[in-house]
Each structure stands twice: as structure tokens, then as C-alpha cells.
Amino acid sequence: MHIDRGHLLGSVLHHRQAAATAVFVAQKFEDLLGRVPLLGRRRSVSFHATFLGAECYARWQAMTEVERASPPGRDNRRADQQVLWHPPRRCGNSCAACSRSCSCIGAFCVADVSADEPDPALDRRHFLIAAGASAALIVGAGGTRAQAQATPPASNSGTTYTGDVIDGKRVVSALDVNDLEPGSVHRLYFRGVEAPTGQHWLVSVTVARGASPGKRLVLTSGVHGDEMSSIHTVQTVMNQLDPAAMSGTVTAVTDVSRPALESMQRRWPNSGRGIDLTDMNREWPGNENGPTAAGRHAWLLFNRLLRPNADYAIDFHTGTTGFGVTGFNIGEMRIPEIRAMMELYPVSQIADNPAYPGVLHNAFIDAGIPSFCPEVGAARGLDAELISLFVEGTMNVLKHHGILAGPMGRTGADVRVFVGNASFPVLATAGGLVEYLVKLNDPVEAGQKIAIQRDSFGEVAAEYESGVSGEVLGLRSDAMAEPGNPLAFVLFAEPGPREPETYPE
Ligand SMILES: [Zn+2]
């Protein structure tokens, strides 16, 4: 299903009160929104309302689908996402949709750096951000770039070793898996963004380089720091690989958002006004000189580690703290290569939805790399049963791409798979303890009562029902809820694009 974000935006622009409500709700419940498709659309609406000027929108709206898919002078990112990435005002850049000067609001101006070749000198590029949307100057960027252009690279290698070795593992600031010895497993650290102490966040990289050439698959987890089953799934896949018998390469990074993982929380603790929490899965493909450490870290990983080594990519997640989900894959089934991979998993649900702008798997797609996102159950713990299903599906993907030989395991054809393209949110309207009358994966009918909430006296404060027929995709796992908390999401099949809905507050 194609989500007509432009249509949604049009409604928002004409109903600014509704836009403000949507933005408020999206921000208020950002943590719990997780990756739920319906709210994702609302989230994307809020971005457009913030960053896209009315003129740009009008032109974008008038474009054909083909034009939107190919913004002038740009790569193959979707037009609506391209608009998201263009730097804010006073940057001198033009809108990808209309080529006019950007009319968005913003307090930051950043360098438009298109070169992404590994260049250690660029690591130290300094930048100055002038808040207040007045004079914003880039210091050092032009000079550094000029220097880089004047000095040809020493070799064609895409791998840069920093010279550091930690616990016997070499540290790289850029990686080309073709530089590694075939037929072996390689364990490295990749040097990510610089932290307030002046040290860098290192992430763990495992590369199983096959003895024979072939496709390259990238597996990631830990973009959110509280999603343990996703990490274990990737680790288990890597531990089952024998590079001597492989044709191709599998690269795994299990701890993408290191500082979030250190405290096992969803978001990256950005050093700003005290601690700002940044959802790293709204930051991709990152911004080298952006205002958040998570965004700069994303840029480094995406451009120097992940994208250069991926023909296909899978970014593993789970539900979030306080909100559990089933085991399912989320991705766009309209893209045949993505559909083929998702259907190789013996898991019970597929959410056929593009999810949010800014998530890692969409950044891969925008770079021409088929990608999707498995959700391996609940956050914080390890779900051995679901992990085994996602490991089996991932091994199937490796066989599908010829990286591994051997018979397929169980696939989606061997289990009952419910496919939906939208998610109906059930939001709390009262405070109190919530008792559920349904479980994850249960089928529900429109109008079916799914939860009862009691106040502090034990009296019934609210009863909740599903507005659609579908299957339970997610349930709040924290038993106490306040008005506005999402209590449940019901995955369902939507016949066509819908108007944005208004949430009660
Ligand atoms: Zn996640």
C-alpha cells in the first residue's frame, strides 16, 4: 500500500490545529510510538509540517509519482524523504521538490558535504552552529574539502585502520570487507562519534567473509538500546556461519547505539541541555555535521561501514520498554526483493508498511539496498522461541542470496501469516490499571472489547474495544496507564489511503 504522505500533509496544512495536535501527540508519545505504522504516518506528518514550506508542498503535491521518486539533481531517495534531509534555512540549498530555496524553519545550518569517501582528515572537521537562525557559518569544512581534493588517496582501499588495537581487535574508521582475508571471521571495532570526554563510541563489527565471492548482507541490531532479542538473533546467526563454506560476506553490528545500550534504554543520551534523549532510529542516514551525536554517529556508520558493504540489509528490533509486540516483519511488500526476504521467515505477522522516514532500513532502501525490519517480540529480555524463528528465517535469506548452500528451513509458507498494512491504535482515555481480554496475535473483530481499566477504587474507569477487525500486534506491558497511552495496536488490512485521525487528549 502506498501511503500518500502528501495527502496527509495537505490536510495538516489546512488544519493547523490538527497539525499541532498531531505533533504534540507524536512528541508526547514518542517513546511508545516505537515503530507502529499508523502513528508513523502521523509522525511523518509532523516532520513535514515542521520542515516543508507551503510552496514546496504545493509543487510536490502536483508532481507525478515518477517525478516524486526522482527529485531533480538528487539520488533515488523518495521525494518526501529528500525534503526531510535538506538542511534548514540560510543553507543556500534548494528544496528537492521544487528547486527553490528552502523555506523551512530551523536554528541550525550545516555543511552540505556530499563526499563520503573515507578520509581521516574529515573526521576532525569542526563546525560551528549559530543558533537562532541568524548568521550560521561553517568553519573548516571548505578548507578541509579543498585539501582532500588536492591530495589523491594513497590507495583504492576503503578500509582505514586507526592503528589502535583493543583486546586484540583492530579499530577501523572505514571498512571495505573486500580488504579482509576470505574464508575467515574478522572481529573489529568501528570508531563512531566522539563523546563528551573526547573518546569515541566504538561499535562491534563481525565480518564473516566467505571463501568465494558473492552477495554481501549486513545485519544490524541495537539501534535501540533496550531490544535484547534482536541482538541475540544476530549473534546466533553469525555464530552459525562457516566462512570456508560461504560465497559472499555477512557483516554484523550488534551494538549500533552504544550509549543507549550501556543503560539498556531505547534512546541515545545526547549531551545537550542536561541529557537529551535522541531516538537514533529517526536519524538515518545521519548528518555528518548535525546537531546530535546520534545523527553524526549514524552518518559515520552508514557511510563508512554499513552502506559500502551491503547489497542487502536487515535491521533487527523488538518492541520497546513498557510495550510488547509479536514477532513480525515490517517492510514494503511492493518491492519484490524485500517481499521475497520477509516471506522467508516462519513468523506469524507481516506489517506491509513503509514505516517512518529516518529509520535505518528506509535509509538503506533510499540508497538502493533492499532492506526491512524484523521485530523479535518484547524488549529487555530474550525470547528464545522467537529468536530461533528469526534465526531460521535469516539463514533462509542467506540461502536465498546464494551466500549459504543447503535446503531452506521453515518459511512463511509453512506457518499462518497474517499480513496487514495498517495498525489501529487503542489509546487510554483514563488513568488506572489495565486488564487485557486478548493476547498478542489474537484475532479480533471490530467492536470487540479488548481491555478493562480500573481506577484506584477498583471501579471500572474505562472499557476499550478495537475499531477494526485484525490481529493484535502490540500490547502495553506496563499495567498502569494514563490518558493518551497506547494500550494496543491491531494490525489490519486497510483498503486505501485514509485521512489522518485525531487522537483524544
Ligand atoms: Zn527498535
CA 203–ligand 1 middle distance (angstroms): 17
pLDDT of residue 152: 35
pLDDT of residue 400: 98
Q: What is the mean pLDDT of residues 121-144?
A: 25
Rounded CA separation 99/72 (Å): 8
CA 114–ligand 1 middle distance (angstroms): 28
Structure confidence at residue 52 as a pLDDT band (50, 70, 90): very low
CA 183–ligand 1 middle distance (angstroms): 32
- What rounded mean pLDDT belongs to the chain? 75
CA 375–ligand 1 middle distance (angstroms): 8
Q: Is residue 45 pLDDT above 80, yes or no?
A: no
Q: Nearest 5°: phi and psi at 189?
A: -110, 135
Same fold, 169-412 and 421-492: no
Q: Tally the C-alpha atoms within 13 A of residue 268's C-alpha that lie toward its C-beta.
A: 25
Q: What is the mean pLDDT of residues 488-494?
A: 91
CA 359–ligand 1 middle distance (angstroms): 9
Q: Is residue 386 pLDDT above 90, yes or no?
A: yes
Whether 354 contacts 332, CB under 8 Å: yes
pLDDT of residue 76: 34
CA 281–ligand 1 middle distance (angstroms): 7
Q: Is residue 142 pLDDT above 50, yes or no?
A: no
Q: What is the mean pLDDT of residues 181-202?
A: 97
Query: What angle do the packed helices 37-51 and 16-28 form, to 10 degrees?
Result: 120
pLDDT of residue 276: 86
Helix (H, G, I), strand (E, B) or coil at 234: helix
Residue that has been written with the C-alpha cell 582532500 in this structure: 148
- 169-412 belongs to which homologous superfamily? Zn peptidases (3.40.630.10)
CA 34–ligand 1 middle distance (angstroms): 7
pLDDT of residue 494: 81
CA 66–ligand 1 middle distance (angstroms): 31
Rounded CA separation 216/229 (Å): 23
CA 320–ligand 1 middle distance (angstroms): 7
pLDDT of residue 103: 36
Q: Return the domain boundaries, the chain.
A: 5-85, 169-412, 421-492
Q: Where is 217: in which H helix or E strand?
A: strand 212-220
Q: What percent of the chain is predicted at pLDDT more than 90?
A: 61
CA 279–ligand 1 middle distance (angstroms): 9
Q: What percent of the chain is predicted at pLDDT more than 70?
A: 67
pLDDT of residue 63: 61
CB atoms under 10 Å from CB of 405, counted, come to 10
pLDDT of residue 381: 97
Rounded CA separation 295/287 (Å): 5
b (16+ CB within 10 A) / e for 267-289 = bbbbeeeeeeebbbbbbbbbbbb
Whether 114 contacts 87, CB under 8 Å: no
Rounded CA separation 455/109 (Å): 49
CA 298–ligand 1 middle distance (angstroms): 15
Q: What is the mean pLDDT of residues 189-215?
A: 97
Out of 51-65, 246-260, 345-359, 387-401, least confident range: 51-65
CA 26–ligand 1 middle distance (angstroms): 16
Among candidates 254, 222, 239, 237, which has minimal Cα distance to 185? 239
Q: Which residue has the higher pLDDT, 502 or 369?
A: 369
pLDDT of residue 418: 97
Residue type, 140: G
Q: What is the tens place of the pLDDT at every residue in 418-444?
A: 999 888 889 999 999 999 999 999 999
Ligand 1 ion: Cβ-proximal residues, 5 Å cutoff: 224, 317
Whether 299 contacts 285, CB under 8 Å: yes
CA 379–ligand 1 middle distance (angstroms): 9
Structure confidence at residue 16 as a pLDDT band (50, 70, 90): very low
Q: How far is CA 151 from CA 24, 121, 154, 253, 459, in A?
A: 49, 11, 9, 32, 74
CA 305–ligand 1 middle distance (angstroms): 20
pLDDT of residue 136: 23
Q: How far is CA 89 from CA 52, 83, 86, 106, 108, in A?
A: 11, 12, 9, 6, 8
Rounded CA separation 346/390 (Å): 8
Q: How far is CA 258 from CA 190, 210, 255, 376, in A?
A: 11, 28, 6, 20
Q: Which residues contact 419 (CB under 8 A, 6 or more apart)?
A: 333, 349, 350, 352, 493
CA 229–ligand 1 middle distance (angstroms): 11
Among candidates 104, 94, 98, which has minimal Cα distance to 133? 104
pLDDT of residue 235: 98
Q: What is the tens place of the pLDDT at every residue in 395-412?
A: 999 999 999 999 999 999
pLDDT of residue 496: 62
Q: Nearest 5°: phi and psi at 399?
A: -70, -40
Rounded CA separation 441/415 (Å): 13
CA 340–ligand 1 middle distance (angstroms): 22
Q: How far is CA 77 from CA 53, 85, 418, in A?
A: 19, 10, 29
Q: What is the mean pLDDT of residues 123-136?
A: 23
pLDDT of residue 82: 34
pLDDT of residue 99: 47
Structure confidence at residue 131 as a pLDDT band (50, 70, 90): very low
CA 35–ligand 1 middle distance (angstroms): 7
**Radius of gyration, alpha carbons of the chain:** 23
pLDDT of residue 139: 24
Strand partners, 329: 350, 374
CATH for the stretch 421-492: 2.40.50.100
Rounded CA separation 359/27 (Å): 16
CA 28–ligand 1 middle distance (angstroms): 18
Task: Give 3-state DSSP helix, strand, coil % of the chain, rounded to 5.
Answer: 30, 25, 45
Q: Is residue 26 pLDDT above 60, yes or no?
A: no
pLDDT of residue 29: 32
CA 268–ligand 1 middle distance (angstroms): 12
Out of 16-20, 31-35, 46-50, 96-100, least confident range: 46-50
Q: Which residues contact 263 (CB under 8 A, 6 or more apart)?
A: 225, 269
Rounded CA separation 239/399 (Å): 16
Q: What is the mean pLDDT of residues 14-33?
A: 33
CA 216–ligand 1 middle distance (angstroms): 23
| 3-state SS string for 299-341 | HHHHHHHHHHHCCEEEECECCECCEEECEEEEECCCCHHHHHH
pLDDT of residue 447: 95
Rounded CA separation 159/176 (Å): 5
Rounded CA separation 352/330 (Å): 6
Structure confidence at residue 356 as a pLDDT band (50, 70, 90): confident
pLDDT of residue 357: 80
CA 382–ligand 1 middle distance (angstroms): 14
Q: What is the tens place of the pLDDT at every residue in 246-304?
A: 999 999 999 999 999 999 999 999 887 788 899 999 999 999 988 899 999 999 999 99
Q: What is the mean pLDDT of residues 296-324?
A: 97
Sheet (strand 312-315) strand order: 160-166, 169-174, 184-194, 200-209, 247-253, 212-220, 312-315, 371-376, 327-331, 349-352, 418-420
pLDDT of residue 123: 28
